[in-house]
Each structure stands twice: as structure tokens, then as C-alpha cells.
A and B are shown apart, each in its own frame.
Chain A
């Protein structure tokens, strides 16, 4: 019987790590600190076998090494190299699943849309979206800041960008939940769950072919590289990436920032009193609560920092763990709201730097600015009711909040 059927709780993360274990989901930081001191590369036989490096140096080294590590699969699941998945070098969701040299082509296609110029032009739209959801809270003095606020911001922006109906937001959250959270399901259960998502994208693509408009989907359908349009698989993969990567990553960052401010009144008071701190505060939120962990597969057997890695071993690429490494950051385990030097890796490092980082950063800043302008004082209404997402994107999924006078 495999651990898929009866999941064992982890007793030693150094030899048997599982990022879906409740202890890791609730508070991974002490686990990472412990591993960093005594491993520092943890191993597991789960998910078909893999490694979890915990230092900034190692994470950076892997992120920058496309010779020994492939991005073909960036989410750790029970299946490696699944049948029917688009082959390397493109992978299922270009460019995040692409390796060089194809990666560069796929990335150049999308970067202009996410450069600071076009992103800054969306700020008014994001602010209006935040106001809309804050207005909807009315006079409520207690509400859930995750389900009543944070989770609405990024789906609204992404839906508009892709040209999908905003009313389908609930569906998008389901899709993302499947791809990023339900990673420990048995393949026979998980794979059929993708059918509604595949059908939804097919319908959107057909609609955009029949009715082209000024949005990112139509752009992908029509853009030419060296005189040729992108393959249908490429278009679909990049659309899926945009939706999946653009939603609960940012919503997790917004949620973590609100959770932090609810539990650290001195930081909330400072941010309200000194709005010029926001730029540094945003980077510190990103460092301290980096939502995204990536993955790689080892390409061929090789020795990494003395660790004998085998072909097709997973690498759980913990940018959030790198961000807490005391070798890389002074007072790494302290949240310092005005930290001046902050070379964090929340958006990854190297050629796969999050393509949406400018958008994510702007959404996080605007969502927090609007929230604290409306509610300059708040606290957790029920600390024990806060829950955190499982999988490679970490953020609070419930933040019961009480507004204070």
C-alpha cells in the first residue's frame, strides 16, 4: 500500500519531507531552520523521490543551472513525466515549464505585456477593484479578510487581462486549487478532475478565435515569432500559466500581509502613519512570506554539494526557505518593515524570474494601501480559525478579522 492511499504524518523531515504535511502547512519555518542547520539538503522517498535544499546558496545555484535541472514539471506530484504532457523543451505551460533555448522565445512573447509600463497602466483598475470589495463589506466590523477581500483582487485582474468573464471567478479558484493545492491526490483521481478546466479553456479559445478582441488571449492567438503563429498547445499552455500563476500567488501575498498586520499592531501603526515605508514594506512582506515554492527535475545523475542526485529526482525549490537563510539576510527570522537591503528571491532567480512580478507587486501594494486606508486598526477575531494553503503556494485561506475603533 502506498502513502498515497494512507498518508503517514512526517516524523523526520530530513529523510521523509512532505510539503503537504499538516505541520509544514501550518508553520514551515521552524522545520526549514532545523533542516538548514543539520542537512542542509533534505530527502524524501515520497512523490517518487526528491530533495529539498534549504540554503539560499543552493536554491540560487539550482535556479541558475539549466544544464542539470529541467523545468519540465514545476509542481511536485506523484507522476513524473506523465504520458500525453507536451514534451520538452516547451512543456505544458510555457515559458515556466520550458528549458533553453525554447524558453527564451516563449518568455519574450509574454514579457512586454507584464513590463512596468503596461502594468502601471492597470493601477487604477486594481484600486477600483479593491474599493468595490471594501465597499461590499459595508459596516461589517468582523469579516474574513481572505475570503471577503484578498481572494477577489487577483482573479479580477487576470480575468480581465485574459478576456474571460469576471463572473467565472469561482471556477478559476477551483482550477488553481486543483493544479496547486490538490497535489497529493492519486493520479487516477486527480487527472479526470482536469476535464472541466480543459473544456473551459477550449471554449474561451474558440470564442476568441470567432470574436477577436483587445486582450491577452487574442494577442497570444495572433502573435508571430519568426513569421509563424504560436502552436495551439503553446497558446493554451501560456493561458493556463497566466491564470494559474496569476491568481493564488498574489492573493496569498495579500493575505499574508494582512495577517501580519493583524498580528503585529506596531507594524500596522507605522505603515498607516508613514505611507512612504510602503515600498520597503512590500519587499519585506515578499521576503518574509514569499508565497511560491517551485520545482525542478534532475536531468542526469550528478553530485550536488556532495548529494548524489539521480535522474528524475524532484527538487522542491524553496525560494521562501532561501529568504529566511541567515547566511543571506541579516536577522533573517525577523520581519523588519523598513529593511533597506533586501535581496529577496520571492519571485525566483535566474531565467525563470516570475514574469508577472511587476503586476503582483503592484497588486500587493495597492491592495494593502486601500485596506489600511479603510481600516487603520484591526486584529484577528479568532487566531485559531486561520488556515493556510497546502502545496507550493503558501498563504492564509481564512483570516477572521475584527475592525478596531
Chain B
């Protein structure tokens, strides 16, 4: 599984990198970005789900790694 942020939906609410700084960072405009390739372990999957559940814009998706 991997986590992705849809940059067209993200408005820079700032919740993801506050909840899960090990998975997310921010760009120069304050929008969320995924660190690395977003691949999740069993442990970080829970954290990614928590960030997803707190994103007011529903911009975070957890998808099958391809």
C-alpha cells in the first residue's frame, strides 16, 4: 500500500504533516506532500489512515502499490 496526496484537492490545511511528520511534509505554498514514494508498512498504514481521516479536503488516498 502507498499513500498519495491529490494536489488538485489539497488546499494546505496542514493537518497531515502535523499528525504524521514521518510521512508528509509541506511545499513552499504550505500544501502537503508525501515524503519519499509513500510506501506504507503495517505500522505507518495506521498513521496514514489517521492523517487521511483528519484531512478536511479529503485529499489523501491510500492505494495499492503498483
Residue of A112, A279, A344, A349 near B18 (CB, 8 A) is: A279
Q: Can you list, as one digit per residue, whether each of B40-66 has a CB less than 8 Å from chain A (1) or not (0)?
A: 000000000010011111000000000
- Cβ-defined contact, B18 with A345, below 8 A: no
- Interface residues in A194-238 (C-beta closer than 8 Å to B): none
Check: A347 CB closer than 8 A to any chain B CB: yes
Residue on B nearest A114 in the bound complex, by CB:
B30
Q: A357-B13, A358-B14 are in contact. Are A115 and B54 (CB under 8 A)?
A: no
Check: A85 CB closer than 8 A to any chain B CB: no
- Cβ-defined contact, B56 with A343, below 8 A: yes
- For the side of the interface on A, what is the size category? 20 to 34
Check: A350 CB closer than 8 A to any chain B CB: yes
Residue of B13, B26, B50, B53 near A347 (CB, 8 A) is: B13
Check: A116 CB closer than 8 A to any chain B CB: yes
- Cβ-defined contact, A357 with B14, below 8 A: yes
Q: A114-B30, A115-B29 are in contact. Are A353 and B53 (CB under 8 A)?
A: no
Residue of A115, A117, A349, A361 near B56 (CB, 8 A) is: A349
- Cβ-defined contact, B26 with A116, below 8 A: yes
- Cβ-defined contact, B54 with A342, below 8 A: yes
Check: B39 CB closer than 8 A to any chain A CB: no
C-alpha spacing A194/B17, complex, angstroms: 40
Residue on B nearest A282 in the bound complex, by CB:
B18
Nearest Cβ in chain A — how far from B51, in angstroms? 10
- Interface residues in A339-361 (C-beta closer than 8 Å to B): 340-345, 347, 349-351, 353, 357-358, 361
Residue of A111, A342, A345 near B12 (CB, 8 A) is: A111
C-alpha spacing A368/B15, complex, angstroms: 19
- Cβ-defined contact, B56 with A345, below 8 A: yes
Q: A341-B50, A358-B30 are in contact. Are A116 and B14 (CB under 8 A)?
A: yes
Check: A264 CB closer than 8 A to any chain B CB: no
Nearest Cβ in chain A — how far from B11, in angstroms? 4
Check: B28 CB closer than 8 A to any chain A CB: yes
- Interface residues in A101-160 (C-beta closer than 8 Å to B): 108, 111-112, 114-117
- Interface residues in B1-48 (C-beta closer than 8 Å to A): 11-15, 17-19, 26-30
Find chain B residues with CB under 8 A from A341 CB: 50, 53-54
Find chain B residues with CB under 8 A from A361 CB: 14
Nearest Cβ in chain A — how far from B7, in angstroms? 13
- Cβ-defined contact, B17 with A116, below 8 A: yes
Find chain B residues with CB under 8 A from A353 CB: 11-13, 57
C-alpha spacing A187/B28, complex, angstroms: 41
- Cβ-defined contact, B26 with A115, below 8 A: yes
Find chain B residues with CB under 8 A from A351 CB: 11
Nearest Cβ in chain B — how far from A210, in angstroms? 30
Find chain B residues with CB under 8 A from A340 CB: 50
Find chain A residues with CB under 8 A from B15 CB: 283
Residue on B nearest A345 in the bound complex, by CB:
B56
Find chain B residues with CB under 8 A from A111 CB: 12, 28-30
C-alpha spacing A361/B12, complex, angstroms: 13
Find chain A residues with CB under 8 A from B26 CB: 115-117
Find chain B residues with CB under 8 A from A358 CB: 14, 30
Can you spell out 26 A-B residue pairs with CB atoms less than 8 angstroms apart? A112-B28, A112-B29, A114-B30, A115-B12, A115-B26, A116-B14, A279-B19, A283-B54, A341-B50, A341-B53, A343-B53, A343-B54, A343-B55, A344-B56, A345-B56, A347-B13, A349-B57, A350-B11, A350-B57, A351-B11, A353-B11, A353-B12, A353-B13, A353-B57, A357-B12, A358-B14
Smallest CB-CB A-B distances: 9 pairs = A115-B30, A353-B11, A111-B29, A341-B53, A343-B56, A116-B26, A112-B28, A358-B14, A345-B56
Interface residues of A (CB under 8 A from B): 108, 111-112, 114-117, 279, 283, 340-345, 347, 349-351, 353, 357-358, 361
Interface residues of B (CB under 8 A from A): 11-15, 17-19, 26-30, 50, 53-57
